[in-house]
Structure 1
């Protein structure tokens, strides 16, 4: 049963800023990329500020831009380009320019090839600006003829793609901030929001269907009704609170305190983030890719996700991903657990808020 979670004492909310960037503490080595060496003053930036600069440069560079990411150690924005003129534009803006081989158009074409020729359950793919490649990941369920087919398609893409394996199994984390319950299923509350002046909260779409009632305890009285749920394709849902249930704009840190959430933002590759969920509580990690596609099987394919190194387990679904006081994402699914690690995917909060016409609060 695809259901999400609902919080008891405090509604979970999180924050962050999203832009297409990848991995912190990275080395600038790549078989198909080279650093620009001309001396220019680099701007010292926070991850959110780097994301804002990256969005601006994406518009300025057009087809000559090929993605960007945040180097947390240097506190700098690294921008991939395919021409020296574009590199100069990046330097003048205070970023670090890196001339690479693959254009965004070529990598987008590679994504389409995967979608057309290798739509295999248990796979995911996302553009990695650090390697300037499309990284395709197959979980442990992909084997035999399907694995052979996947390898052939990826190899056919040449230097534009690479194939990796993960020991776990990609699946939605059904079964966190605070726990929410519906019909025997448990998920986690993501963030408290306001729509049309009324209190609501958002969680994962795979947690339940429109019309389902949610409580803050197993078998407890309903505190809200799910008024919209989108899954697959997207993975977010909106629940309207009943009565006078408390709905603070904060995330439960499970140590007796809470993180206040003031706004929503986009993720940036390399951004340090924190997840709160009702099964595994609070864990940290970093954003490794944006616009990821995951095939959970049974026709459940979700696109446009944030990929991270933060662990999660069943029951954490719908829980908050934040960066300081900024809401960034809602827990969707992934592989592994909080003992072995794995890849975890999150629905961007900004897209959910825009779709629902809601705001953090």
Structure 2
């Protein structure tokens, strides 16, 4: 195979609003301060710096630490405390954080999440700690009805209104098979379409890329065109439990730049991997819908996808980044990143679409790099040196980090027989020609990201389910 350059991005039209935020000196957020009773004089910080400061303060505050988030409107880190030595709290303020007194401790929120895991691991549900409200936010999609809804509602009520809240999502949680630059494969049932997340260097020095785990277990060989010859082969894939795949290019001379193509000839250089911070503005690129932006709303989220191989089963994924960024089928595996070039996540699944909105969940890149031994780009930023790695602005406080009791023990997380088969994975067929065609139209709206505006082309099969459920995103 001749030497080739692998592009790492989505070939769709970039949403103008998101593209504007990526311009130099653009306003980095539309978020407003949601904290009440916050006190102290805080430093002005970048989101990535806030993540590192939060990790330091978590050590200083100890059991008094009850989570943190980034107020992107004021560009300040807000740290929740439940009690503690006044001198210790004074140190937190001196370090540059806003300190806020809250009711629920990290231990109490983790206990609530464990209760949900035990009593309410129901397909179509998710939960994560919202440090801005100091509660566990539980979400149920449109499929959770009848006895299942009653069971979930009863469990949440048992936790108390001051500890957990329950909301309904109009869509259905599902994976979004079909992301960055489009990648294609053949599987039982038809074509599979996903998105390339980030180019990396594998531990043996070979060029590779990261994408969603449910894409990697659905098919082994991947091409950069719908009917093209395979250019890459899955080396490692994990789903459920986690949701990431390492795919190695077949040609060892492949040039795999560490960048994301955001459309219209624009790219964002990816400089490092980092942990997400609640409240920061993020961007997602996918082959179906292009570029979209929003905020991180939770960390260490647990999502219970309906198993596509077992009608009564559930595919549980833990440790995810929760956002209000939209996504659709074909965006799975696509890039979640920041304006300054930090790689954050790989598109996993969610509910809704880019017309009505919804929640989208992402596999943290730092976790994938650590597990696979890969490094970003030409070898910088390995698993151990990811900027902010391990300091997810209170990742442990997001009531889910440890309380989700591990990826493997989620209601059969490891035993979803053939989870990789994702029977519907192949149903994303037909998306091949749609993802790049419209990429040169700078006047296209966010809703036109498919390349031809057709709802059917967004999903590859025109299925209404493809845009409205809690699903894995291929």
TM-score (structure 1 length as normaliser): 0.91
Q: In the alignment, what sits opposite 1:47?
A: 47
Q: In the alignment, what sits opposite 2:345?
A: 329
- Per the TM alignment, residue 300 of structure 1 is displaced from its structure 2 partner at its CA by 0.8
Question: 1:27 aligned to 2:34?
Answer: yes
Residues 305 and 8 of structure 1, relative CA distance in 2, 3 Å threshold? farther
Select 1:141's aligned residue among 140, 143, 155: 143
Whole-Å separation in 1 of the counterparts to 2:300 and 2:31: 18
Q: In the alignment, what sits opposite 2:27?
A: none
SS in 1 for 2:113: helix
Question: 1:304 aligned to 2:312?
Answer: no
Confirm or deny: 8 A CA contact 2:235 2:248 kept in the other structure. Answer: yes
Q: In the alignment, what sits opposite 1:176?
A: 179
- Per the TM alignment, residue 12 of structure 1 is displaced from its structure 2 partner at its CA by 3.4
Confirm or deny: 8 A CA contact 1:181 1:214 kept in the other structure. Answer: yes
Whole-Å separation in 2 of the counterparts to 1:327 and 1:163: 31
Question: 1:340 aligned to 2:340?
Answer: no
Whole-Å separation in 2 of the counterparts to 1:26 and 1:315: 34
Residues 139 and 332 of structure 1, relative CA distance in 2, 3 Å threshold? same
Whole-Å separation in 2 of the counterparts to 1:126 and 1:137: 9
Q: In the alignment, what sits opposite 2:155?
A: 153
Correspondence list, 1:234-313, <5 A: 234-243=242-251, 244-298=253-307, 299-313=314-328
- Per the TM alignment, residue 330 of structure 1 is displaced from its structure 2 partner at its CA by 0.2
Deviations 1:137-160 (A, max 9, x none): 000100001101111100000011
For structure 2, which runs of at least 5 residues remain unmatched after alignment? 11-29, 308-313, 378-474
Confirm or deny: 8 A CA contact 1:210 1:229 kept in the other structure. Answer: no
Question: 1:188 aligned to 2:195?
Answer: yes
Correspondence list, 1:34-113, <5 A: 34-36=37-39, 40-83=40-83, 85=86, 86-113=88-115
Confirm or deny: 8 A CA contact 1:8 1:180 kept in the other structure. Answer: no
- Per the TM alignment, residue 89 of structure 1 is displaced from its structure 2 partner at its CA by 2.9
Q: In the alignment, what sits opposite 1:12?
A: 9
- Per the TM alignment, residue 60 of structure 1 is displaced from its structure 2 partner at its CA by 1.2
- Per the TM alignment, residue 27 of structure 1 is displaced from its structure 2 partner at its CA by 2.2
- Per the TM alignment, residue 210 of structure 1 is displaced from its structure 2 partner at its CA by 8.5
Confirm or deny: 8 A CA contact 1:8 1:217 kept in the other structure. Answer: no
Q: CA RMSD in A?
A: 1.7
- Per the TM alignment, residue 256 of structure 1 is displaced from its structure 2 partner at its CA by 1.5
SS in 2 for 1:292: strand
Residues 200 and 96 of structure 1, relative CA distance in 2, 3 Å threshold? same
Q: In the alignment, what sits opposite 1:351?
A: 367
Task: Return structure 1 stretches of 4+ with deviation > 2 angstroms.
Answer: 84-89, 208-211
For structure 1, which runs of at least 5 residues remain unmatched after alignment? 1-6, 14-22
Confirm or deny: 8 A CA contact 1:210 1:228 kept in the other structure. Answer: no
Whole-Å separation in 2 of the counterparts to 1:95 and 1:261: 28
Q: In the alignment, what sits opposite 1:17?
A: none
Whole-Å separation in 2 of the counterparts to 1:239 and 1:257: 25
The structure carrying a bigger strand percent of its residues is 1
- How many residue pairs match? The answer is 339
Whole-Å separation in 2 of the counterparts to 1:41 and 1:129: 19
- Per the TM alignment, residue 208 of structure 1 is displaced from its structure 2 partner at its CA by 2.6
Q: In the alignment, what sits opposite 1:230?
A: 238
Whole-Å separation in 2 of the counterparts to 1:301 and 1:98: 33
Question: 1:206 aligned to 2:203?
Answer: no
- Per the TM alignment, residue 211 of structure 1 is displaced from its structure 2 partner at its CA by 7.3
- Per the TM alignment, residue 24 of structure 1 is displaced from its structure 2 partner at its CA by 3.9
SS in 2 for 1:296: strand
- Per the TM alignment, residue 9 of structure 1 is displaced from its structure 2 partner at its CA by 5.3
TM-score (structure 2 length as normaliser): 0.69
Confirm or deny: 8 A CA contact 2:5 2:256 kept in the other structure. Answer: no
Q: In the alignment, what sits opposite 1:315?
A: 330
